[in-house]
A and B are shown apart, each in its own frame.
Chain A
Amino acid sequence: MSATPRRRRTRLVLSQIALAALALVAIVAATAFLLLVGGYSVRDGLVALWSGSLGSWYAITSATLVRAVPLLCTGVAVAIAFRAGVFNIGAEGQLLVGAAAATAVSLATPLVAWSGGVTIILALAAAAVAGGLWAGVAAVLRARFGVLEVISTIMLNFVAVHFVSYLVRGPVQEPTHAYPQSATIAESLHLPRLPGAGRLHAGLLLAIAITAVSGWVVRRTAAGFRLMAVGENPDAAASAGQIDVGRTTTRAFLASGALAGLAGGIELLGVTFALYENLSPGYGFTAIAVALLAGLDPWRVLPTAVLFGALEAGAGAMQRDAGIPSTLVTVIEAALILAAVTVQALRLGRRPNPGRASIAAEP
């Protein structure tokens, strides 16, 4: 909590670390249990999980952290939206259009003689704008027509997928027209690799910076406060705080879309270097789990994004080395969300969630 004196904050942090440690133990235990039930070697599974995610420097950098980068951005994006009471399930689609926009800018630059650095910035900016606009469609539908954003963002996800599919088989398809993907972007536009860190790229730094700033905004600024108030209790926010609820939620929605779009741009410039279908293995959805487990707090998204990055990296290793289905990790992720939801529900007891926008405007 931001309104906390220093000493109390230390105690809180310590208790949160203890909680996190407990959660980690629980995850390991749950994994072991599932492995046992499935008839797999628990030892092999856990060893593979560890070695694939955190067991070596290479694993940490090129498996875990590389996956953590997009999860960080989208996790913060989702956290901001949910915090304001906006159920942005469309991070996946916003990420895709962000990647598409970044691709367009990157491929268009040979036409303009700009330096690589400037182009990278432009591409990332375009990604953010595209993501914001994509979310904007749903935001307008919500603000003007009272449309439930859950449904509209899911629809937009599908449209984005089809749009990318169209792009990579049409306008931006690579010159030989053999594969459904765009041309690879120029070397000079790749995000620089971090020295000594395998495949890990500078996008990590950007993502961390975004997380830091977002967390600061949410905790320390008037705008961040309004975000929280509107998500907690829109009636009180409007009456006691005299906050413009509609404007606050729309801004949160757009910011969320922009961050998710940015994640797509970073993925493109740092990992994939070309646009193709299935560019995102569901980052936008995993982000929901990441954000929920972080309690919708951007600063806490950092460890949870790394956790999920590790889980997904470890899943791949489990499959390769121990023949254990990587889908097991999806089960764990789902169980984590359900556990978090249960804990919250039990804690809140009989209190109803103060009003969330319904699909129709209030009568």
Chain B
Amino acid sequence: MTHVGAADAPLALDMRDVAKRYGGTQALIDASLSVRPGTVHALLGENGAGKTTLMRIAFGLERPDRGTMHVGGRVARFASAADAIERGVGMVHQHFSLVPVMTVAENIALGGRGRLDLAGIRAGLGSLAERRGFALDPDAVVATLSVAAQQRVELAKALMHDARLLVLDEPTAVLAPGESAELLRWLRAYADAGNAAVLITHKLHEALSVADDVTVLRRGRTVLAASRADASPRSLTAAMIGGDAEPSEGSREAGVDATMHDTGTRGEPVFRATMVTIADERGLVRVWNATTEVWRGEIVGVAAVDGNGQRELLRALAGRLDPVSGTLVRPKNVGFVPEDRHRDAVLLERSLAENVALRGAGARRGVLDWSAVLARTDRLLRALDVRAEGATVAMRTLSGGNQQRVVLARELAAEDGGTPTAVVAENPTRGLDVRATAVVHERLRSAAAEGAAVVVYSSDIDEVLLLADRVLVVYDGRVREVRAERDAVGRAMVGVE
């Protein structure tokens, strides 16, 4: 039985009531998506809404726990990406799978069998350029290509397999505005030629500029599915961030004493950024001309959709990254709680005491007083109620939540036991249960109460609003202070004024 769409042709993609569980989280509860052929379909939603998960199912990278899927009117049960590709589905991921030192043609050829027929690929690319209208030099080395061009290579990979349904995951996240426009124009032409495209994005204006239909996911559910004509920025935003702001326990308003913010006696700011431009490790500029201040005793929340530059901003504030231009005044010793704990914050195989001693190890001189370190570690463990057998057990033996508590305790404590001047935290409660999360929140608040300047980034907008006195939103590399209200922050995060 075929599902018939508005134009009386089978839907390019029809997903109904899809559910998917990942470990402890229900990534998708009740998601549906209906893509008409010849259209560009925007799939909107915040971080964690389930957009990528849903489309990974469509591309055969995941299997749904529940729900049905039809591609081109026929039932689709993909066991792998190869199956999906065979059925004409192509996907361009956020992170490219390209070999930098190889040419475009070689990258496209990867995964084949037998003799390598680069001439054939060149010809194929040539006809692709004609039919689809984008140019790629088959012999160009991928590393020399711009990000936009590299993305085109990924596109070419999909198109060379005759994809009639293209899924693009946040494709404009890595592109400059001009390149984004070009991509969207191309996408439009692709759809007009009778194919279908699903554009996963969090950028409202982008969706509205090119899409025929939109679907909004929130917390794993489809909350809105409409044609472009029936959708307004307002209704879309409301669907994406939800109008209901349930006050969670222990919110700032509800009872933690607000006496610490005496704006009259603020004095000099702890952090002061003036027209600061920051580049990432590869030299790509991620933050432009940011100007802001953070004072003692306050918690500044940073809200952003991942990839908009908040990562570089946080690291610059924490002193782990230097800006390329502008002036950044920051204290000498800033505590930093990074998102990737295992890679950037701890020595898994070493003892808790050694991990605690890691803080400030770069500047320390002379002899280490291990008994003092042990004592300090014991104190920290007790203060944060960490479940561990003592300071000498290996970090690896602790649960994730307890590991994070140790990291937090280490960063929140100044070396001499006094109050830290400043702390920057990046998704500090990711992966933690409710209790651990509450502990983290409480510690951040008391640090501010004791006079520290706290900067917290969370990809969960509610957490940011819960903790912050003031909110900075980073969108597309621009930093703006925004009223600490769900509506305002949500709109700023997706680029709506």
The short answer to whether A and B are in direct contact, CB under 8 Å, is yes
A contact residues vs B (CB 8 Å cutoff) = 1-5, 8, 220-222, 224-226, 228-229, 232-233, 235-244, 348, 351, 354, 363
Contact: A232 with B336, CB < 8 Å? no
Contact: A363 with B358, CB < 8 Å? no
Name the one of A229, A237, A244, A351 contacting B348, with C-beta atoms under 8 angstroms: A351
Name the one of A4, A222, A239 contacting B367, with C-beta atoms under 8 angstroms: A222
Residues of A within 8 A of B338 (CB): 239-240
Residues of A within 8 A of B353 (CB): 3
CB distance from A287 to the nearest CB of B (A): 24
- Give A232's nearest chain B residue, CB to CB: B347
A276 to B354, CA, bound (A): 46
A226 to B359, CA, bound (A): 11
Contact-residue bracket for chain B: 35 or more
Known contacts A3-B354, A3-B357, A3-B370; A239/B344 CB under 8 A:
yes
A229 to B351, CA, bound (A): 12
Contact: B345 with A239, CB < 8 Å? yes
Contact: A3 with B360, CB < 8 Å? no
- Give A223's nearest chain B residue, CB to CB: B365
A354 to B364, CA, bound (A): 23
Residues of B within 8 A of A220 (CB): 367-368, 370
CB distance from A49 to the nearest CB of B (A): 36
Residues of A within 8 A of B377 (CB): 3
CB distance from B66 to the nearest CB of A (A): 31
Residues of A within 8 A of B351 (CB): 1, 3-4
Known contacts A1-B351, A3-B351, A220-B370; A235/B344 CB under 8 A:
yes
CB distance from B280 to the nearest CB of A (A): 13
- Give A244's nearest chain B residue, CB to CB: B362
Residues of A within 8 A of B358 (CB): 229, 236-237, 240-241
Residues of B within 8 A of A239 (CB): 320, 336, 338, 344-345
Contact: A242 with B360, CB < 8 Å? yes
A228 to B391, CA, bound (A): 18
Number of A-B contacts defined by CB within 8 Å: 96
Known contacts A3-B353, A239-B320, A242-B320; A229/B361 CB under 8 A:
yes
A3 to B282, CA, bound (A): 38
- Give B410's nearest chain A residue, CB to CB: A240
Residues of A within 8 A of B100 (CB): 363
A90 to B199, CA, bound (A): 55
- Give A233's nearest chain B residue, CB to CB: B347
B343: interface (CB < 8 Å): yes
A2 to B367, CA, bound (A): 12
Contact: A236 with B354, CB < 8 Å? no
Contact: B367 with A221, CB < 8 Å? yes
Residues of A within 8 A of B391 (CB): 3
B306: interface (CB < 8 Å): no
Contact: A232 with B361, CB < 8 Å? no
Contact: A241 with B361, CB < 8 Å? yes
A354 to B346, CA, bound (A): 11
- Give A239's nearest chain B residue, CB to CB: B344
Q: Given known contacts A1-B351, A3-B351, what 20 new A-B pairs fall within 8 Å (CB)?
A: A1-B392, A3-B370, A3-B373, A8-B392, A221-B366, A221-B367, A225-B361, A226-B362, A229-B347, A233-B347, A235-B344, A236-B343, A236-B346, A237-B358, A240-B336, A240-B338, A240-B345, A242-B320, A242-B362, A243-B361
CB distance from A355 to the nearest CB of B (A): 9
B contact residues vs A (CB 8 Å cutoff) = 100, 143, 282, 319-320, 336, 338, 343-351, 353-354, 357-368, 370, 373-374, 377, 391-392, 407
A2 to B373, CA, bound (A): 11
- Give B377's nearest chain A residue, CB to CB: A3
A241 to B411, CA, bound (A): 11
A229 to B357, CA, bound (A): 10
Contact: B370 with A240, CB < 8 Å? no
A242 to B410, CA, bound (A): 14
- Give A354's nearest chain B residue, CB to CB: B343
CB distance from A118 to the nearest CB of B (A): 31
A104 to B239, CA, bound (A): 82
Known contacts A240-B346, A363-B100; A221/B368 CB under 8 A:
yes
Contact: A242 with B345, CB < 8 Å? no
Name the one of A5, A224, A229 contacting B374, with C-beta atoms under 8 angstroms: A5
5 A–B contacts, CB within 8 A, in A order? A1-B392, A3-B377, A228-B354, A229-B358, A236-B347
CB distance from B390 to the nearest CB of A (A): 8
- Give A241's nearest chain B residue, CB to CB: B361
Residues of B within 8 A of A1 (CB): 351, 354, 392
A354 to B343, CA, bound (A): 8
A240 to B367, CA, bound (A): 20
A225 to B348, CA, bound (A): 15
- Give A1's nearest chain B residue, CB to CB: B351
A229 to B347, CA, bound (A): 7
Contact: A3 with B362, CB < 8 Å? no
Contact: A3 with B347, CB < 8 Å? no
What are the 8 A-B residue pairs with the smallest beta carbon separation, nearest first?
A3-B353, A241-B361, A242-B362, A222-B364, A243-B362, A239-B344, A241-B358, A232-B347
CB distance from A214 to the nearest CB of B (A): 15
Residues of B within 8 A of A241 (CB): 358-362
Contact: B343 with A3, CB < 8 Å? no
CB distance from B362 to the nearest CB of A (A): 4
Residues of A within 8 A of B370 (CB): 2-3, 220
A328 to B264, CA, bound (A): 81
Contact: A232 with B349, CB < 8 Å? yes
A235 to B315, CA, bound (A): 14
CB distance from B497 to the nearest CB of A (A): 36
Contact: A242 with B363, CB < 8 Å? yes
Q: Which of A221, A229, A241, A243 has the most CB atoms of chain B within a 10 A radius of its CB?
A: A241
A226 to B368, CA, bound (A): 11
Residues of A within 8 A of B320 (CB): 238-239, 242
A236 to B348, CA, bound (A): 10
Residues of B within 8 A of A232 (CB): 347, 349-350
- Give B100's nearest chain A residue, CB to CB: A363
Residues of B within 8 A of A221 (CB): 366-368
- Give B396's nearest chain A residue, CB to CB: A351
CB distance from B326 to the nearest CB of A (A): 22
Residues of A within 8 A of B374 (CB): 3, 5
CB distance from B338 to the nearest CB of A (A): 6
Contact: B361 with A226, CB < 8 Å? yes
CB distance from A16 to the nearest CB of B (A): 15
Name the one of B347, B349, B366 contacting A222, with C-beta atoms under 8 angstroms: B366
CB distance from A76 to the nearest CB of B (A): 20
Residues of B within 8 A of A363 (CB): 100, 143, 282
- Give B361's nearest chain A residue, CB to CB: A241
- Give B346's nearest chain A residue, CB to CB: A236
A232 to B342, CA, bound (A): 12
Contact: B392 with A4, CB < 8 Å? yes
